[in-house]
Amino acid sequence: MSVALEQPDSTTDSRSRRSGGREARRAMRAAPLADDIRPVRAGLEGGRYKALDQNDLERIHEAVLTLLETVGFANAIPSCIEALTRVGASYGDDGRIRFPRELVLSTIKNAARHFTLHGQDPKHDMKVQGKRVHYGTAGAAVHVVDVEKREYRESLLQDIYDAARLVEGLDNIHFFQRPMVPRDIPDPLDMDFNTLYACVMGTTKHVGTSFTVRENVAPALELLYAIAGGEENFRARPFVSNSNCFVVPPMKFAEDACGVLEACVAGGIPILLLSAGQAGATAPAAIAGAVVQAVAEVLAGLVYVNALKPGHPAIFGTWPFVSDLRTGAMSGGSAEQALLTSACAQMAQFYDLPGGSAAGMADSKLPDIQSGYEKGITTVMAGLSGLNLIYESAGMHASLLGFCLESLIIDNDMLGQCLRCVRGIEVTDEALSIDTITEVCMNGPGHYLGNEQTLRLMQTEYFYPAVADRYSPKEWGEKGKPDLLQKAIEEKKKVLATRFPRHVPRHLDDQLRLRFGNLIQLPRSGMGG
Amino acid sequence: MSVALEQPDSTTDSRSRRSGGREARRAMRAAPLADDIRPVRAGLEGGRYKALDQNDLERIHEAVLTLLETVGFANAIPSCIEALTRVGASYGDDGRIRFPRELVLSTIKNAARHFTLHGQDPKHDMKVQGKRVHYGTAGAAVHVVDVEKREYRESLLQDIYDAARLVEGLDNIHFFQRPMVPRDIPDPLDMDFNTLYACVMGTTKHVGTSFTVRENVAPALELLYAIAGGEENFRARPFVSNSNCFVVPPMKFAEDACGVLEACVAGGIPILLLSAGQAGATAPAAIAGAVVQAVAEVLAGLVYVNALKPGHPAIFGTWPFVSDLRTGAMSGGSAEQALLTSACAQMAQFYDLPGGSAAGMADSKLPDIQSGYEKGITTVMAGLSGLNLIYESAGMHASLLGFCLESLIIDNDMLGQCLRCVRGIEVTDEALSIDTITEVCMNGPGHYLGNEQTLRLMQTEYFYPAVADRYSPKEWGEKGKPDLLQKAIEEKKKVLATRFPRHVPRHLDDQLRLRFGNLIQLPRSGMGG
């Protein structure tokens, strides 16, 4: 890290807005609303889009049970074998663990559901259940998109911290799973620890992160317990979850990730059970088959977690990806991806388990019209399907290879629109507007511009973007044809120069730095006080 | 018109694709497929997204009947009053026509449904019924977006012809309603006639157009009958519909448009009954209320059309738009627009009438990330809702003020993705893939790359974009970081230099030019032979 970013006079909530001239009126009307009357918020209920029928869901479920019973999983580590056989799984001569259907069904029945994923700040708590929708980041991009140079460069620890700080102020991004890996930190322990540190110091929203090996979990837990003010506090409100790729599709356990999973379960960290097969490569090319395999894999993980600790919070993380079958390359921005993700949302609902899957991954390398429609289509369908946790939904490009800080800011507007669509249409006597229409037509001015209903609904029913442009061509020309990317670049620079979240007090940060020494590589950045 | 575009050696279907190196394999695999195995096509069944419940639909219907009965319409012209009172509407002392509910219900029952909108080429015929989805253009933009100069310039007759020629070869744009007005032709008759001429000469797909006044319909009919080879032929397969704004919302007839409507009904032209209120300005700000008013208005139009000629084909064209209530400006790219359009799709289905509404209008002035997500969200929701005719879905910017030829090409890919999403997920025994997964895991290579299922589904289940970019960052860098807009510019230039549809024979064009003299202002452009 070359630059320390000490800026003692700023606050966490310093999200400001453009103003000037006619803008003043817009700004005033666009000023923050009380949470209960905001047109969009975290946890709105989706589910009006159903990619699958009830019969489809049941057939997928049956296929899943068959596969778990007959094919099962290879490559279980000894502690995994021990835990799974103890609860009734069988370990075959062919080295595969198989799951009797009664074991799977009883696990589904008894697994943790309707739990909360906590933020460091309780206002960011997420109740992940039913068809409640939350958008957030995720990924392991190895590049940052430099939109000014139109270049991909290696992602650094500072980028993770910067992304966290941006997300802290973006209302429609509800959680922050680490979206990049710090290429400047080659050592796995250093990398895991500092990634986590950069995330939890950068945002008070719920954080997701990964660990390379089991041994790296202990120092992370020590850090988290310290920030929480004690182990009990963390266990009561765990504000970090473990994004865990416990499976190497098709149907094999990932040894290192399983070790991490066991350590996280023991330490009180919720698990995102992440199955990331790629249709046509590591999962069937048939969309239904890719869903079947993903569900089977995640349910195996769910049995594993519950064998270790009954009722430990786990997210049903069916994340099947898509291949462009002409090249074998991943295509995160494809229609097939939107369908896979939406189907997975319904499978989670079928089991009444908190579901997480991926949407918003653009194939396009830059924030351009292609990435816009790829993100728009996939994120709105995930939301309308009622997916509880929509990972990868902001900032991601090049099918997970490049993360873009400017896109975070732009995507926040897009996700606001998606949330407005998720919220849907209120059909009440008042909303049907018979009286309003009658009055306007029969006695009124013949239009609704100054109508009482119009003024009342202006803030509660209509979503207004923060940076997107709704000028007429004439206004747009008069303003010098503003470019959205340029606006996002400026907003990013302003926020990163001024927002230094200080939810972790300075004296605690001092203690952590003393305790962990060289392990902390992110320079002090204005936290504490 | 300054440039004539004679290019006698080209054909209608000369859509070519990039090739070279590794591209050859991609191109081969992306070669046109037989219609029956293509992953997407016109008329796929939507309806898996339902913005409204059955109860909502019934409440809207009831509110509509109440409004038609109690408020009715002002400003009917004498022939309209005559036609409507003849079938049972009342003409009040206050000058308003009111519609008894029995009249409305019997009209709905007896109106034309399940009809076909024809193309000049029957392969482009559209069966508009049920939840069958078709995407197309529309609009009355007064500007063309010049993406090279980042400029809005006045739209010209040549632009309409060029848009038609582009659409002719874009598979996922199924019809061509005139998207711009020719600013170089001030005289209304010249404008109407040449707009129609440019459309029908530019594409063999179904065309929609408008007329300014009743008197302009006759020469247009003469033109159309001539192209069809006689009036009977046109009446049997009308390949042009009239986009008719017969209503000035709220609840007033538009006098000139009503005259046009009567002439089109008499002449055998299907009517798009277009109600284009703007929520918060000329329609209620409440989304449900805007839907109520639009449905009431279109049903009044439907009674009118059926009073003139029972069973005349009419499209249920509820097109409520959205205001940004902070400024009163239209916001076609908004979430509220997506909801309005999707709700209207369901109301058409509720009546089993062919529905048309608008989606894909970006607020953004240029083809950028904002226009991408605005278009993506609104067009996919319209498709998933099963809207029969999705107008404005390609090329439109600045909330209908600017049309972009390059966006047509880019949006064609986006609409292909939308259609793939509409098509949905096949859940069959084969697609569930139990055997495939078992084989790959137990006996196979542990992946699906060369699997028989993968190869079989590669072309039938997966949609591949024509111009969008799926390169990895590395490939993308090696190729010089191709820009999608630049690709679209090149594709546009190539197509416009080579595609001169010749479905109207040269000798007929000669006759038309002889007959209509100076009325035809588009230079001969390679049609005929």
Tens of pLDDT along B447-478? 999 999 999 998 899 999 999 999 999 999 99
Inter-chain CB proximity B285 and A453 less than 8 Å: yes
* Closest chain B residue to the Cα of A466, Cα to Cα: B370
- Note whether residue B14 is domain-resident: no
Interface of A with B in 435-494 (CB under 8 A): 436-438, 440-442, 446-449, 451, 453-454, 457-458, 461-464, 468-473, 476-477, 481, 483-485
Q: What pLDDT, in 10s, does the model give residues B425-445?
A: 999 999 999 999 999 999 989
Q: Tens digits of per-residue pLDDT, B110-130? A: 999 999 999 999 999 999 999
Segment 315-354 of chain A within 8 Å of chain B by CB: 322, 324-329, 331, 333-336, 338-339, 343
In a domain, B377, yes or no: yes
To which residue do tokens 């590591």 refer?
A: A282
pLDDT at A199: 98
Q: Tell me which residues of chain A, numbers 216 to 275, contact chain B at a CB-CB cutoff of 8 Å.
A: 250-252
ipTM for the complex? 0.94
**Looking at CA atoms only, how far is residue A188 from chain B in angstroms?**
25
The mean pLDDT of chain B is: 93
Per 3-state DSSP, chain B is made up of helix, strand and coil in percentages (nearest 5) of: 45, 15, 40
Strands B143-146 and B90-91: unpaired
* pLDDT digits 0-9 by tens, B198-255: 999 999 999 999 999 999 999 999 999 999 999 999 999 999 999 999 999 999 999 9
How far is it, in rounded angstroms, from Cα A389 to Cα B89? 53
**pLDDT single digits (tens) B170-183:** 999 999 999 999 99
Is the Cβ of A288 closer than 8 Å to some Cβ of chain B? yes
Instruction: Please state, in angstroms and rounded to a whole number, the distance separating the CA atoms of residues A242 and A128.
Output: 16
On whether residue B21 sits in a domain, the answer given is no
* Range B355-379 average pLDDT: 98
Q: Which residues of chain A make contact with B462, given a CB cutoff of 8 A? A: 285, 322, 324-325, 334, 336
- Number of domains chain A is built from: 1
pLDDT over threshold 70, residue B514: yes
- Work out the average pLDDT over B12-31: 44
**Whether residue B357 has pLDDT greater than 80:** yes
How far is the CA of B176 from the CAs of A60, A158, A285, A354, B120, in angstroms? 41, 50, 35, 45, 12
HSE of A144 in the Cβ direction (CA atoms, 13 Å)?
A: 21
H-run or E-run covering A356: strand A356-358
Distance CA A313, CA A305 (A): 9
With respect to residue A294, please indicate whether it lies within any of the assigned structural domains: no
Compute mean pLDDT per 10 residues along chain A, 529 residues long, and list them. Answer: 36 36 50 74 98 98 98 98 98 98 98 98 98 98 97 98 98 98 97 98 98 98 98 98 98 98 98 98 98 98 98 98 91 98 98 98 97 98 98 98 98 98 98 98 94 92 96 96 97 97 95 95 66
* Closest-CA residue of chain A to B325: A458
Strands (DSSP E) found in A140-239: 143-146, 151-154, 175-177, 206-209
Rounded Cα–Cα distance for residues B260 and A504 (Å): 70
CA distance B250 to chain A (A): 7
> B369–A367: do the CB atoms touch at under 8 Å?
yes
The two structure tokens encoding residue A350: 């079928």
Q: What share of chain A is helix, strand, coil (3-state, %, to 5)?
A: 45, 15, 40
Q: Please report which confidence band the pLDDT of residue B1 belongs to, taking 50, 70 and 90 as the band edges.
A: very low
Q: What is the pLDDT of residue A29?
A: 53
Instruction: Give A252's contacts in chain B (Cβ within 8 Å).
Output: 446
User: Within an 8 Å CB–CB cutoff, is residue A67 touching chain B?
Assistant: yes
> What average pLDDT does the segment B137-162 reach?
98
The CATH number of whichever domain residue A500 belongs to comes to 3.20.20.480
Q: What is the DSSP string of B172-191?
A: T--EEE--B--TT--SHHHH
- Kind and range of the H or E element at B244? strand B240-244
Contacts of A283 in chain B (CB under 8 A): 448
In a domain, B163, yes or no: yes
Which of A322, A431, A448 comes nearest B281 by C-beta? A448
* Eight-state DSSP code of residue B213: S
Split at pLDDT 50, 70, 90, the class of B360 is very high
Compute φ and ψ for B105, nearest 5 degrees.
-65, -40
Residue A376, classified by CB atoms within 10 Å of its CB into exposed (0-12), middle (13-18) or buried (19+), is buried
Per DSSP, A151 falls in state: E
- Domain containing residue A333: 39-48+114-282+309-424+463-528
Looking at residues B300-311, what average pLDDT do you find? 98
Binary contact (A425, B52; C-beta < 8 A): yes
Closest chain B C-alpha to A405 CA, distance in angstroms: 14
Report the gap between the CA of B4 and the closest CA in chain A (Å). Answer: 30
Structural contact between residues A160 and A202, judged by C-beta atoms closer than 8 angstroms: yes
Nearest to B204 by CA among B245, B252, B170: B170
Sequence-separated (6 or more) residues with CB below 8 Å from residue B338 = A380, A417, A421, B359, B377, B378, B381, B382
pLDDT at B4: 36
- Say how many C-beta atoms besides its own lie within 10 A of residue A184's C-beta: 16
Please give the average per-residue pLDDT across B410-437, as a whole number: 98
**Does some domain include residue A408?**
yes
Residue A66 lies in a domain: no
Contacts of B246 (CB under 8 A, 6+ apart): B253, B254, B257, B258, B261, B273, B274, B301, B304
Q: What pLDDT band is residue B31 in, cutting at 50, 70 and 90?
A: low
Q: What angle do CA A96, A102, A108 make, to 5 degrees?
A: 95
CB contact under 8 A, A376 and B372: yes
**CA atoms of A7 and B151, how far apart (whole Å):** 41
How many contacts does A have with B, using Cβ atoms within 8 A? 431
